[in-house]
Amino acid sequence: MPRLNQAVPKYRKHRASGQAVVTLSGQDHYLGPHGTKASTIEYDRLIAEWLANGRECSQPQAEITIAELCVRYLKFAKGYYVKDGRCTKVTPDIKCALKYLRTWYGKNSAVEFGPVRLRALRQRMVDDGHSRRYVNDHCDRIKRMYKWAAGEQLIPADAYRCLTMVEGLRRGRTEARETAPVMPVDDATVDATPRGRSSWSPPAAPMDRRAPRRPTGRPWLATTWWSCRTTTNRARSTPRPWCGCWGASRLPPRSA
């Protein structure tokens, strides 16, 4: 396996000038007269900032472009939005949002992107046929990137605060389409659909419409043979109809 280099750049003496110097990310930083306390303090400060920034020198705020900012934020997102060693679904959504931003304003300075350009970019998403919620989510992801960049001192904090002045699209006050609501399945479709079950599950039980319903309107399924847990947290495998394990209330058995 390759050996990881955890060493930090050394405090050296520049022979031509007699000053202390340290090289960070290929750039020399002069610290003052070699061997003085002020030069060692300056060295400690630069090394601490360099390590806190992921062993990279922070760019001047006015020089970083939107394309460069997107690359650095994606690198952060791939390491932050991780669960069980894999990237979550948040990262692909961020890529979709930043693709709009990078296509139009990738070569511009990140500081120059303000509320007017954000609204123009939002209108382009609406013209592409995206729903109101989809557009609002993409705009929020762009704002979060600017919030992260301000915390990393890549851009001034005012650049992020200006974007927060742009409110999201509201229902009935925009040209963006609304997504169709998800309605519950009617009883005729439920009765005509056979209950599917796996090889290990107990025999299918009929659906009880007296049971409480989910927020979507679909009733909970009342089963008659599931492993339950008593108050002492011991598993029991005896038949226990109308159990509340799956959300069904303790209703009396239906009459034959």
Assess whether 74 and 149 both reside in one domain.
Answer: yes
**236 lies in a domain?**
yes
**CATH number, domain with residue 117:** 1.10.150
Assess whether 77 and 144 both reside in one domain.
Answer: yes
pLDDT in the model for residue 193? 75
| Residue positions counted in the chain | 256
Assess whether 31 and 99 both reside in one domain.
Answer: no
Instruction: Say if pTM beats, i.e. exceeds, 0.75.
Output: no
Gap between the Cα atoms of 63 and 131, Å rounded: 35
- Asked if the model's pLDDT at residue 192 lies above 90, the reply is no
Residues 61, 153: contact at Cβ < 8 Å?
yes
Whole domain around residue 21: which residue ranges?
Answer: 12-52
How many alpha carbons lie under 13 Å from residue 50 in its C-beta half-sphere?
Answer: 21
Assess whether 70 and 105 both reside in one domain.
Answer: yes
Assess whether 81 and 151 both reside in one domain.
Answer: yes
- Asked if the model's pLDDT at residue 2 lies above 60, the reply is no
Residues 6+ apart with CB under 8 A from 231: none
pLDDT in the model for residue 98? 94
Boundary of a domain, candidates 163, 193, 224: 163
Count of domains in the chain?
3
Q: Which amino acid is at 212?
A: P
The DSSP output letter for 33 is E
Task: At 227, list the tokens.
Answer: 């492993």
pLDDT in the model for residue 242? 45
Of the two residues 18 and 198, the one the predictor is more confident about is 18
- Asked if the model's pLDDT at residue 226 lies above 90, the reply is no
Task: Taking residues 42-62, report their average pLDDT.
Answer: 76
